[in-house]
Amino acid sequence: MKVSRLVLVVEGFLFSVSNSSFATTSITEETSFGSNPGGLRLFYYIPSFYDEGGPLVVVAHGCSQDAQNIADTSGWGELADEYGYALLLSQTGTAHSAVSHCFRTWMTDHQGRGASEPLSVKQMIDYMVSEFAVDEDQVFMTGLSAGGNLVNVMLATYPDVFAAGAPIAAYPYKCATDIDDVPYCAYGYVNYTPLVWGNLARSGYPGYSGSRPVVQIWHGSWDATINLANRYQQVKQWTNVHGIDANVDWYGSLLGYPHYLYKTWAGATRVETVTVTYMGHAIAVDPGASSWQCGATGTYAADFNICSAYWIGVFFGVVP
């Protein structure tokens, strides 16, 4: 099977749901992938029928989580076996223990291009491109909460690297620039205009005028950790970056869940949202044997009869 995509998956502030057993994805650690100024750890998984020039899924975990857990519960590991992309998982290091092993997306030192955590993630991608010949033109990123925040950081600071991103239960780039800002952002108290949000995103790579990643935003309607209000704040940020308004151009449902599209005047979708009704702070999974089912329930993964990894994979193009 020949596929040609790269995906980045990340997670963050978390909420516990029921545990269950699940198959283990056998990930491998690589310690030599650059200067690694952010002190992150790189894990990867290459499925047996992966072809050079094919896809890569990079997964970074959430607070108090690790790479193995997110690989096993999210569904990205089993989808890699089915569709043939490589999987890269970013994990926090020992320096993060004081903040529950969270990615430090609220710190200005970790919000800029060419330094700290964003550069470490970029170096991980460069390693996978060099080692496994993935397609540099098709790089994608997704994640939950603090990892979803990292998605927004990377889309802002390295828009030239990513074709698309999908933050889950996150808030906008540069909403928080200090640890004291985090509660205000998390609870949805920060409400800027699209232009202000857009300018903050553009500040991640000043002067950049190239193409921007398209974005699919996921959120649980009952999320008590990262309030649902942040879904629309992200819409305002990324629609402004794409030069379109934040008014819904099409609305429908995805397996019964509200699904909104934001389009250009020519009808091209640039931003989407999917709201998982009644779900709290978690990744939506749908364990089962059907082609659209994936994932396993566990800490930070909840069965809501929709596997977000599958549908994000469709959005990215890694899943047919």
What does pLDDT average to over the chain?
A: 90
Locate 215 and state its tokens.
């974005």
- Reply yes or no on whether the pLDDT at 232 is more than 80: yes
Q: What is the mean pLDDT of residues 140-159?
A: 93
CA pair distance 295, 215, nearest whole angstrom: 22
Phi, psi of 144 (to 5 degrees): -110, 130
The domain ranges of the chain are 6-316
Give the DSSP H or E segment for 251: strand 250-254
What pLDDT does 206 receive?
A: 97
**Three-class HEC string of 122-135:** HHHHHHHHHHHCCC
Q: pTM of the predicted model, to two decimals?
A: 0.92
74, 90, 145, 308: which is the annotated catalytic residue? Answer: 145
CA pair distance 18, 268, nearest whole angstrom: 39
Nearest to 167 by CA among 128, 85, 223, 208: 223
Architecture of domain 6-316: 3-Layer(aba) Sandwich (3.40)
- Reply yes or no on whether the pLDDT at 320 is more than 50: yes
Say whether 145 is catalytic.
yes
Query: CB of 44 within 8 A of CB of 31?
Result: no
What pLDDT does 98 receive?
A: 60
Q: What is the mean pLDDT of residues 168-187?
A: 97
What pLDDT does 92 receive?
A: 87
- Reply yes or no on whether the pLDDT at 226 is more than 90: yes
Residue with tokens 């928080």: 176
Give the DSSP H or E segment for 89: strand 86-91
Residues 6+ apart with CB under 8 A from 180: none
What pLDDT does 97 receive?
A: 61
Give the DSSP H or E segment for 144: strand 139-144
Locate 95 and state its tokens.
């320096």
* Sheet of strand 164-168: strand arrangement: 28-30, 41-45, 86-91, 56-60, 6-10, 139-144, 164-168, 214-220, 269-276, 257-263, 250-254
- Reply yes or no on whether the pLDDT at 248 is more than 80: yes
